Amino acid sequence: MSDLPNGPKHLGVTPPIALNYPTQREIEVTDLLVQELTAQGTFESEDESRRREVVLGKLDKLVKEFVYRTSKKRQLPDADAREAGGKIFTFGSYRLGVHGAGADIDTLCVVPRHVAREDFFSDMHDSLNSLNEVTELTSVTDAYVPVIKMKFQDIPIDLVFAKLNVPKVPDDLELRENLLLKNLDETCIRSLNGSRVTDEILRLVPSIPAFRTSLRCIKLWAHRRAIYSNVMGFFGGVAWAMLVARICQLYPNAIAGAIVSRFFRIMYQWNWPQPVLLKPIEDGPLQVRVWNPKIYHGDRYHLMPIITPAYPSMCATHNVTQSTKKIIEEEFKRAAEIADKVMIGTGKWSDLFSKHDFFSRYRHYLQIITSSDSATRQLKWSGMVESRIRHLISKLEGVDNLYLAHPFVKGFDKVHHCATEQEANDVSHGIYNLKPISEKSGTDSSKSGNENGSNTIYTTTFYIGLLVEPRAVGSTTAHRQLNLSWPISEFTKLVKSWDKFDERYMNITVKNVKCTQLPQEVFEEGEQRPTKLKRTKPGGKAKSNTTTTEQPIKKRKTDKVTDKVDTATDQPNKKRKTDKVIDKDDMTTTEQKRKSDKVEINGSNLESN
């Protein structure tokens, strides 16, 4: 809390902008917002809510039993072993009260000092594995925050571990005190951070009901507009929560409808890289790094810094790139215009939640295909590649004539049953026309390799939309060139340097595809796909708007020509013609402009019909 000079107390680093109470119109639009959120299915049923409480109760009991067993192994007296305790904390969307149906529960297992992380990932894992109620159990010990993932009575659970430097963990323990972090390793501090940040956010908002309804709205909007992903360079759940909390601080007496409207207007006009803070950054008892661009050179490069309120303060948005910043700001502008119309009665909330247009927005896309021979291996391999895509985005941003590299927020998983090694090789390189493909949904990780005599290949495909700089007014340049060789080569070398990469079972391919060549899996049922346009020569003969570039390869039965470039090495390729493709700033560009404005894309696998 901070004190206004000769005035009331306030939350945040600045005084409120306004203390006005809701108007009748704001009450009306808030009611309409709640109705729309209900219609959109953002609230879970009472039955599911009760099931979550039961599951958390069982999990807390399991943790106490685990701590007791471990205490006995450490030769503690029985009385001390029973008093050692152990406790489950929740954080994330569930703790904030904004989770929806089917959402996972982020949980933290806190134990006393004599219980080791190794005990957790062995004894606790085995205990969970013995339960019929637990399915899809997996331990990720090498993650930035090590975690046990599972479904407990069909409810997804992420369980992280932290031990405190205390002899026992009572049920009334709270994690707010900074001194609890003393003598802990960095992994435990990171594990505790999620719970501490979530609790601090709730303490720093003036009205929790208004905050929760507003945050539900913003989360749904961010998901629908495909800008909800920390790993891909957008904002994650904690960052969106802190932004909403800041607007609540600036309008402490406002209700959800007014907060959402002001949220978009203020965020669109925010003077980045000015940081978003919920309270002043505080010092603490540890020799750990706290976000400070005056001291740490790297912190100065954070483009849209949103700083966590719990000690040690960190930037929750360090992954944002120049491209994702532009996209987020565009979405803020669009949403602000819609919210303004809602407030004056000429628009409706449903317009805010319309689906993104990512797969029809650009003329060209990079397709990043990861593949391996088992579901378990593919989960780790694709997750590692996904965590590095932001590095590829940063490198692409340095390419001449490229204005924007827009990553999609998730990958597309598929399972392919191939009859021959050649088909398996084709699938791993993104050639899917040889064999029917089944979508991967709840694949049993125990099934891998050959099945019924076939080769089973697991793939995850990521997409990056490419937007070319518009030609300068009066430019007479016949065509421009995008040379992507170096960014792609550096990216593939980066991911293949992973210590668990095994070229016998894993592969990565990066290709350029046109919007008309995107696979059906990226479009929802009933969604209109981009259509292929043709241009005509002066003589009237129709000609495809795509031309092949490299040495022709023998045509398949489908008359498909595949031009391949080795993106995993720096070796120069044979001299080849360049692929001339059309730079369309708008999908409705005229034929005349398409003829006169051409772009060459070099350095990625190119496929043309």
Name the residues annotated as catalytic: 93, 104, 106, 158, 219, 228
Q: Is the dihedral of CA 227, 233, 239, 243 positive or negative?
A: negative
- DSSP annotation string for 58-69: HHHHHHHHHHHH
Within 8 A by CB and 6+ apart from 204, the residues are 11, 12, 245, 249, 278, 279, 309
DSSP-derived secondary structure letter, 122: I
Of 483, 524, 517, nearest to 363 (Cα)? 517
- DSSP annotation string for 312-354: SP-BTTTT--HHHHHHHHHHHHHHHHHHHHHHHTSS-GGGGGP
Question: For the stretch 525-547, what's the b/e string if a residue is b when 16 or more beta carbons lie within 10 angstroms of its beta carbon?
Answer: eeeeebeeeeeeeeeeeeeebbe
DSSP-derived secondary structure letter, 90: E
Binding-site residues for Mg(2+): 104, 106, 158
Beta-bridged to residue 158, according to DSSP, are: 106, 149
- DSSP annotation string for 455-493: EEEEEEEEEEEEEEPPPPTT---SEEEEE-HHHHHHHHH
Of 330, 401, 335, 302, nearest to 599 (Cα)? 401
Exposed, middle or buried by CB within 10 Å (0-12, 13-18, 19+), for 512?
Answer: buried
Return the residue matching tokens 């340049």.
Answer: 477
Distance of alpha carbon 256 from the chain centroid = 25
Binding-site residues: 91-93, 104-106, 158, 219, 228, 237-238
Binding-site residues for ATP: 91-93, 104-106, 158, 219, 228, 237-238
Of 355, 23, 30, nearest to 211 (Cα)? 30
Return the residue matching tokens 């060139």.
Answer: 481
Distance CA 132, CA 134 (A): 5
Residues in the chain: 609
Of 472, 490, 488, nearest to 480 (Cα)? 472
Cα 20 to Cα 252, 344, 538: the distances in Å are 8, 18, 67
